[in-house]
Amino acid sequence: MQEKIMVADTLAGINGELTRYAGMIAQSENKELKATLKQMRNACEQSQEELYNIAREKSYYVPASKATEEEVRHVKNLFTQGTL
């Protein structure tokens, strides 16, 4: 299997884990469990960021171009107006 595919698959898996952690944290009433899940999520986020940086360095991932100021203002307005 090619390294690029393995990195992409791993990033997709980590992103799925982050989504699951968010759901578990939101649903947990036990403060100790919630704190433990947050620690695990934070470690997972750190791994995701490290792998993302490797993918960018090797040109396995090229991010979209940055939004213009006008696009940013438009989205901010949507949120502040309650349109979304």
pLDDT in tens, 1-53: 699 999 999 999 999 999 999 999 999 999 999 999 999 999 999 999 999 99
Q: What single string gives the DSSP state of each residue in 21-72?
A: HHHHHHH---HHHHHHHHHHHHHHHHHHHHHHHHHHHTTS--PPPPPPHHHH
**In the predicted model, is pLDDT for residue 82 greater than 80?**
no
